[in-house]
Amino acid sequence: MLRLRRLGIDTHRENVAFLRRDCASYQAEEFRVLNRIEVFPADGGGRRIRATLNIVDPGPIMEADALGLSDSAFAQLGLPEGAQVAIEAAAPPVSHEVLRGKILGRTLSADELRAIVSDMVAGRYSKMEIAAFIAASANAFTHEEVLGLTRAMIDTGTTLRWSGGPGRMVVDKHSIGGIPGNRTTMIVVPIVAAHGLMMPKTSSRAITSPAGTADTMEVLARVELSVEEMQAVVEREGACLAWGGHVNLSPADDLFITVERPLAIDSREQMVASILSKKAAAGATHLLLDIPVGPSAKVRSGEDATRLRKLFEYVADAIGLRIDIVMSDGRQPIGRGIGPVLEARDVMAVLRNEREAPADLRDKALLLAGHVLEFDPALRGGEGFARARDILFSGRALAKFEAIVDRQGRNRDVLKPGELTHEVTARETGSVQAIDCFRLARIARLAGAPLAKGAGIDLLKKCGEKIRAGETLYRIHASLQTDLGFARAHAEAGSGYRIAP
């Protein structure tokens, strides 16, 4: 038997156990470093969890008769510190051979994909094995495999149910991302809710971008809501803006994201399964999908956009989700701010109808809101945009947004842009011909976004604008000197702007 120890190590959702090399109860070397083990109460009852084993040399970190657990593993096991536990080598999950088949290029059936996803959600796979599945599946899935994966991801998590019965329309909106500052959701949701449609919006945190909708909304309000809290907000206000990862919607997707983020992998097939599984699990019946197309966006040509649109339509139709897809301009960032605080500033400027509000962010939000409103059978075709414009300019969208913020829990701390700044200037005189979205996103992340909410980029020039040599193109904001140094060095190697005479 071993005494349970909580070591206070955050391993970001991965269960890790630590055993002393000189442990008297178990021969540590027999388990081998990085092998998977099962941990369970010594009396044989209670919960069993799987964890990746690490061997610790004798020293002050932990006692020889102890088993240390990371924070996530300790929480899952649910036993008090000092409890008696035992360990044993974990047998490979049943779906392990299926995973090997995918790595070798085999097409998987719906049942095989369900087995893999079930084992992953049950904690039977390590991050290394999940990464192997992601890498093997990237751009190597058939349409049928994408559908099978989507259904498996829906079935292994929570599915939300909303009042009004199965016939009630529940609308949603999503952008596939890749365009910095594209924070239209926070404007679309209050417009749609003020019109009277139900829009329980669950959003993700950033994967490869400087901010996700949840990161930006968190500047203003609490986003980590329970299912009951979400339902209470939606029942009262008709909408919410919450982080989907906190309510167990498609939990397999959250596991995939933890691997995709450091690898910067965001394959089309995984993207479709991720987006549609989250929307179906959230109870949506109608979805507007925004696919930005541009030379430095995720989708870089009309041909690629058409292929992606057809895959979305195929899977959405099969799972009973009505989908409308908009191809939008992805040639440059939307708005002026890149990073949570700076993007929240732009959103509030649009909602408040300020004179200096970014026109491109406002116009795109109105376009998308108009499409969502036209799901309403009470509106005639083509009336959605005018209706959205009226709701925004009348102030009703702002009032609804403020009500949602209050219901979710207003953030009383006023967050500001990072105080450390560096201005990136033009090297020649002319006009801005192109802006590299990918490079600017990279610079903003190096500056600390989204973890440092005030970090990011404030754009002062957009495509088509004139510029003189030495004039500022954009300002980098950071909270730490090291982050500012990384971002500044990357910007000096290439600003991301193309200027022509």
- What was the pLDDT predicted at 33? 67
Residue 458 lies in a domain: yes
Contact 361, 184 (CB under 8 A): yes
Residues 6+ apart with CB under 8 A from 81: 4, 5, 6, 74
The answer to whether 329 is a known catalytic residue is no
Same domain, 71 and 181: no
Domain check: are 62 and 199 in the same one? Answer: no
Q: What is the pLDDT of residue 225?
A: 94
Residue spans of the chain under pLDDT 50? none
- Residue 225's alpha-carbon distances to 8, 121, 270, in angstroms, are 25, 21, 26
How much is the pLDDT for 25?
A: 87
Q: pLDDT for 210-264, tens place per residue?
A: 999 999 999 999 999 999 999 999 999 999 999 987 777 888 888 888 777 677 6
Residue 486 contacts residue 446 (beta carbons within 8 Å): yes
- Does residue 159 sit within a domain? no
pLDDT of residue 177: 84
In a domain, 123, yes or no: no
Count of structural domains within the chain: 3
CA distance 468 to 430: 6
User: Which of the listed residues 30, 60, 89 is the one where a domain comes to its end?
Assistant: 89
Q: Is residue 252 domain-resident? A: no
- The CATH number assigned to the domain holding 328 equals 3.40.1030.10
Specify whether 26 is located in the same domain as 66: yes
Residue 207 lies in a domain: yes
Calculate the alpha carbon distances from 446 to 20, 450, 460, 490, 494 in Å: 37, 10, 19, 8, 14
Secondary structure letter of residue 20 according to DSSP = E
Based on the domain organization, do 377 and 427 belong to the same domain? Answer: no
Examine the domain organization and report whether 355 and 216 are in the same domain: yes
- Under a CB-based contact definition with an 8 Å cutoff, are residues 457 and 474 in contact? yes
Report the CATH number at residue 56.
Answer: 2.40.40.20
Q: Clarify whether residues 233 and 381 are in a common domain.
A: yes
Angle at 367 between CA 286 and CA 218, to 5 degrees: 75
What's the 3-state SS for 200-255? EEEECCCCCCCCCHHHHHCCCECCCCCHHHHHHHHHHHCEEEEEHHHCCCCHHHHH
Distance CA 285, CA 323 (A): 9
Q: Tell whether 284 and 357 lie within a shared domain.
A: yes
438 with 343, same domain: the answer is: no
pTM over 0.85: yes
- pLDDT for 457 equals 98
d(Cα 272, Cα 472) in Å, to the nearest integer? 39
Whether residues 291 and 373 share a domain: the answer is yes
Last residue of a domain, one of 74, 89, 104: 89
**Is the distance from CB of 180 to CB of 294 less than 8 angstroms?**
no
Q: Is there a contact between 454 and 214 (Cβ–Cβ < 8 Å)? A: no
- Domain CATH code at residue 471: 3.90.1170.30
Rounded CA separation 329/332 (Å): 8
- In tens, the pLDDT along 483-499 reads 999 999 999 999 999 99
Whether 101 maps to a domain, the answer reads no
Residue 39 has which token pair?
């941990």
| Pair (222, 296) in one structural domain | yes
> Please, is 59 exposed, middle or buried when counting C-beta atoms within 10 Å of its C-beta (0-12, 13-18, 19+)?
exposed
Whether 489 is in a domain gets the answer yes
Which pLDDT score, from 0 to 100, does residue 28 have?
76
Domain end among 89, 120, 138: 89
Are residues 206 and 303 located together in one domain of the fold? Answer: yes
Domain presence at residue 110: no
Instruction: From the candidates 215, 254, 266, 346, give the one annotated as an active-site residue.
Output: 266
- Statement to judge: residues 433 and 325 lie in one domain: no
| Domain encompassing residue 232 | 171-246+278-408
